[in-house]
Structure 1
Amino acid sequence: MLDADLKAQLKGYMERATSPIEIVAALDDTQTSKQIKSLLEDILDVSPLVSLREDNAASSRQPSFSLNRPDGSVGIRFAGLPMGHEFTSLVLALLQVGGYPPKVDADTTLQIKALNGDYSFRTYISLTCQNCPEVVQALNLMAVLNPRIRHEMVDGALFQDEVEQLKIMAVPTVYLNGEVFGQGRMEVGDILAKLDTGAGTRAAARIDAKAPFDVLIVGGGPAGASAAIYAARKGIRTGVVSERFGGQVLDTMGIENFISVKETEGPRLVAGLEEHVKSYDVDIMNLQRAKSLTRGDLVEIELESGARLRTKTVILATGARWREMGVPGEAEYRTKGVAYCPHCDGPLFKGKRVAVIGGGNSGVEAAIDLAGIVSHVTLFEFLDVLRADAVLVAKLKSLPNVTIVMEAQTTQVLGDGSKVTGLAYKDRRSGESHTVDLEGIFVQIGLVPNTEWLKGGPVALTPRGEIVVDAKGQTSVPGVFAAGDVTTVPYKQIVIAMGEGSKAALSAFDHLIRLPVFEAQAAE
């Protein structure tokens, strides 16, 4: 199953394990079962600590396999072949079951171990989903630390009948004790916050008690991360408060224009960013959403949790999110056929009819990717020309199961109450209305800056909601800077956001050294 290089890498990783690992497989006569058995035999070959046995009565989901300690104190199961993005989840689970300590801080470890209850989690994933491994790895880690927590990863593409019965149309979807627990990317902190209702209050109290920062960055995407690194290297007190470290890049599949890196993926890039930021003395406060900004002697950022952070300068790097169509039915059928990530959710629509809204690079790339999975793709473009790169348009037009509809204005998402059944649109040339029968709609129509929390405040915004900045990243408020996709700087690209974040940090430091109080403190 594994090539020689990958097997050698796995052998190196497994040398870190210190305790026996028992793998119990429930297999059938399918090709996937044969691949799983080959994978498990490769694992058996690279570590003397691993044992393998087959027991088809161990699970009703076949093919699947569990990872356990000999005393049965760990409950981790993979229903499917954990390759692609999920291979890392498998390797981490093996190491952690085998005694290698999970990378989680002491407070979080104690919080997981203190959970009092029986928690049986089940996560439906697709192997092309870049958000799914975060959830799988978080729940596996929790199952390792607390014997009353069990977790099973289920490949939705492999168990499609089950997915359709449960009406799952977005991944990752997590069930807890048979009921829907959550959808989308979740970290350990997100999961604990839902299980331990007092966690948010305790975290808010800790944040509220922090001393003022010299530079506080709001946002943990590429702009925020680069700003944190540049600020910390100046030796000043630096903090990062973010709703989700990594931001929108976590939802980006292929990155092929990041200079000096020929090809990478969003989660991998974010992992590198986080490691780099953490190599400096930066106070990272994750899973926190900003609520308001006020300017007095210090800049004060109020969070949704009620905590308040004070700082001499601030860099706003809250990024942007996918733009919604804003038509009837879109909100009602979100995750029920309306999706925004073709890489994540595409496999759930295998053999079905879908639409892609938007003819820019994102939309055309989505249509090309989906055409290899679904039965038919209809791409709808509002204008009379596709705005994507010529090479992408040529590829799209060469595909036999793609229809392109130009000058189409989407007017409604149609459904039966539980799932999408079609889409209504108006022909902008003739004014005629049409409907198309389909099962999925992928929206790819650009970005909206995350600045709702700043509206009505002192920071000047454009009518589109972007933060107005000058060449140095300075906003309309002294000591308040901004960087990245949230600003008026054109071309929303990762490499540009990083440069703007660095520039904003240098500008903030330049502002600080001109403050009398800062100069006096520096002399002490």
Structure 2
Amino acid sequence: MALMQEKDRKAVQGAFTGLNRPVDIVLFTSAESGEYSEVTQELLQEVVALHPMLSLHVYDLDQDSAYAAELGVDKAPGIVFLVGEERQNHGLRFAGLPSGYEFASLIEAIRLAGGAVQPDLQPATMALLETIQSPMHLQVFVTPTCPYCPRAVVMAYRLALASPYISAEGIEVTEFPELGDRYAVMGVPKTVIDDLVHIEGAVPEGMMVNKLREAIAAAA
């Protein structure tokens, strides 16, 4: 039985209008993650079938650990969006099943990676990104029932696409409760920059820029 209804498939096909470069979706599964991996794979298969520029490759997190490490994946299900014919890794990732409101994060990641939409960041944001010369990791903790979470995830993805030094990962926190405990996630969305700066809520771009500056200063 298909996971997406016909109306949803049509809506997604419409959202994919304008894709102008290939997007290779790489999924890492594991036996331990069980049904979450199985349903994620089924969902992604349905999504990539909706546009000829999309493809899906599935690997095992344990058996293909070297490739997982290369792509920055340490959780299953773990999704990476590779961009263009060269399959460039811009650090766009999602950990967990992208269900509920997080299905929107999945679709927007594909639209960004496929060139259907641009990051469209403010000049002040771009100016700051040009000063970043070392890796910076953004973790955005979300749940499927949070309507504000996709906004925070997509903001992180936009930053990652605009800077070769930034990686951005949406994390479905109910599937990884140990991370929720580690980062004291009491509400979502919550963004953690390099384990140094914590951001509560889906903040506007200007506030995100200030938090990036704060993280850069803390690292220094």
TM-score (norm 2): 0.81
In structure 2, distance between residues paired with 1:124 and 1:132: 8
| 2:80 paired with 1:78 | no
CA-to-aligned-CA distance 1:41-81 (integer Å, 9 cap, x gap): 01220111112112322122111211121342411111112
Contact 2:119–2:161 at 8 Å: present in 1 too? no
Look up the match of 1:185: 202
In structure 2, distance between residues paired with 1:27 and 1:4: 27
Q: 1:105 to 1:150 in 2, by over 3 A?
A: closer
SS at match of 2:92: strand
Once the two structures are TM-superposed, the CA of residue 148 in structure 1 deviates from its matched residue by 1.2
- The residue type equivalent to 2:136 in the other structure is Y
In structure 1, distance between residues paired with 2:166 and 2:122: 18
CA-to-aligned-CA distance 1:300-333 (integer Å, 9 cap, x gap): xxxxxxxxxxxxxxxxxxxxxxxxxxxxxxxxxx
Once the two structures are TM-superposed, the CA of residue 131 in structure 1 deviates from its matched residue by 2.6
Alignment counterpart, residue 20 of structure 1, candidates 22, 44, 66 = 22
1:451-466 matches, cutoff 5 A: none
- The residue type equivalent to 2:75 in the other structure is R
Alignment counterpart, residue 155 of structure 2, candidates 118, 138, 142 = 138
| 2:27 paired with 1:31 | no
Q: 1:115 to 1:7 in 2, by over 3 A?
A: farther
In structure 1, distance between residues paired with 2:127 and 2:18: 25
Once the two structures are TM-superposed, the CA of residue 174 in structure 1 deviates from its matched residue by 1.6
- The residue type equivalent to 1:171 in the other structure is V
- The residue type equivalent to 2:78 in the other structure is S
Look up the match of 1:147: 164
- The residue type equivalent to 2:11 in the other structure is Q
In structure 2, distance between residues paired with 1:120 and 1:23: 20
In structure 1, distance between residues paired with 2:53 and 2:19: 8
Look up the match of 2:82: 68
CA-to-aligned-CA distance 1:365-415 (integer Å, 9 cap, x gap): xxxxxxxxxxxxxxxxxxxxxxxxxxxxxxxxxxxxxxxxxxxxxxxxxxx
In structure 2, distance between residues paired with 1:100 and 1:28: 31
Once the two structures are TM-superposed, the CA of residue 86 in structure 1 deviates from its matched residue by 1.8
The structure with the larger Rg is 1
Look up the match of 2:218: none
In structure 2, distance between residues paired with 1:179 and 1:171: 18
How much identity, in percent, do the aligned residues show?
23
Contact 1:134–1:187 at 8 Å: present in 2 too? no
Alignment counterpart, residue 58 of structure 2, candidates 51, 54, 61 = 54
SS at match of 2:147: coil
Give the superposed CA RMSD.
Answer: 2.0
In structure 1, distance between residues paired with 2:77 and 2:37: 5
Give the number of the structure whose residues are more often helix, by fraction. Answer: 2
Contact 1:122–1:151 at 8 Å: present in 2 too? yes
Structure 2's unaligned 5+ residue stretches are: 215-220
Q: 1:112 to 1:82 in 2, by over 3 A?
A: farther
In structure 1, distance between residues paired with 2:77 and 2:169: 12
Q: 1:51 to 1:112 in 2, by over 3 A?
A: farther
Look up the match of 1:102: 118
Once the two structures are TM-superposed, the CA of residue 3 in structure 1 deviates from its matched residue by 1.5
In structure 1, distance between residues paired with 2:155 and 2:121: 13
Could you say which structure has the greater relative contact order, defined with CA pairs below 8 angstroms and 6 or more residues apart?
Answer: 2
Look up the match of 1:226: none
Contact 2:36–2:77 at 8 Å: present in 1 too? yes
Contact 1:109–1:145 at 8 Å: present in 2 too? no
Once the two structures are TM-superposed, the CA of residue 109 in structure 1 deviates from its matched residue by 6.1
- The residue type equivalent to 1:4 in the other structure is E
SS at match of 2:19: coil
Aligned residues: 197
In structure 2, distance between residues paired with 1:115 and 1:101: 24
SS at match of 2:169: strand
Contact 2:112–2:118 at 8 Å: present in 1 too? yes
